[in-house]
Amino acid sequence: MTAQEVLAELETLGSEQTKKTFFRHGAKEPFFGVKVGDLKTIQKRIKKDHALSLALFETGNSDAMYLAGLIADPPKMTKAQLRKWVKGAYWYMISCFTVPWVASESPHGRELALEWMDAKSEQVAAAGWATYSSLIAIKPDAELDLAEIEKLLERVKTEIGTAPNRVRYSMVNFVIAVGGYVVPLLAKAKAIAKALGKVDVDMGDTSCKVPDPVEYIAKIEKMGRVGKKRTSARC
């Protein structure tokens, strides 16, 4: 399939109701308002297509950009391509999900995560924390730099109060990811979560809430799922 053929199909799947929902979450034109479930149906048909993925992201259409992440072949992604993607990720569905998922499964995930965390752009910095969270979720503890992650937890504790809105949300999720996936740092993550207290994030005109890291980590513990890694960052 070509990018134009995919866009034509996406247009038929879009709905005004879904567009309204996405608008409330920060989406901007152009996009058709395609449900994620419908995008995953297309993904199952296409599977992986690196060239098509790049072409779809290039369209700037949010639906197409999200699909691009689902059909991307992360090991083929270059640092230049990922940097271009994060720069073009103009709202959190792309900056905190699509780009981090692909980046974390690429050979450049850790390097770019750390680079993006220091960015002045709110969306890019949020993508950095989300990328590291995805790395934590898929890589065995033996392949992670635990000392570095521990320092990042302390950084969250120090900086979250003055961090931009969406970055705060990604930081909270980072603490949860450490507590949920990295067994040796569970106690540290729980201590940081407790120290954070209530984190305020403006979720816009939506019913979404900021997860309580203390409660969330406790829930993971109760389920006996601490340390259970994911096979893929993308979901």
Q: Which residues of 105-134 are buried (b: 16+ CB within 10 A; e: fewer)?
A: bbebbbebbebbbebebbbbbbbbbbbbbb
Q: What is the pLDDT of residues 124-148, one digit of tens each?
A: 999 999 999 999 999 999 999 999 9
Cα gap 46→120, rounded to integer Å: 36
Answer whether 70's CB lies under 8 Å from 234's CB: yes
Cα gap 175→154, rounded to integer Å: 10
**pLDDT confidence band for 153 (50 / 70 / 90):** very high
pLDDT of residue 198: 86
**pLDDT confidence band for 69 (50 / 70 / 90):** very high
- Tell me how far apart the terminal alpha carbons of the chain are, to the nearest angstrom: 23
Residue 2 belongs to what H/E stretch? Answer: none
Mean of per-residue pLDDT scores for the chain: 96
Q: For the chain, what are the domain ranges?
A: 1-72, 92-235
The separation between CA 52 and the C-alpha centre of its own chain, rounded to angstroms, equals 21
Cα gap 77→104, rounded to integer Å: 11
Q: What is the pLDDT of residues 96-117, one digit of tens each?
A: 999 999 999 999 999 999 999 9
Residue 138 DSSP class: H
The stretches of the chain forming alpha helices (DSSP H) are 3-13, 16-25, 36-46, 50-58, 62-71, 79-88, 92-93, 99-105, 109-117, 122-138, 146-159, 165-181, 186-196, 213-222
Top-confidence residue, 30 or 205: 30
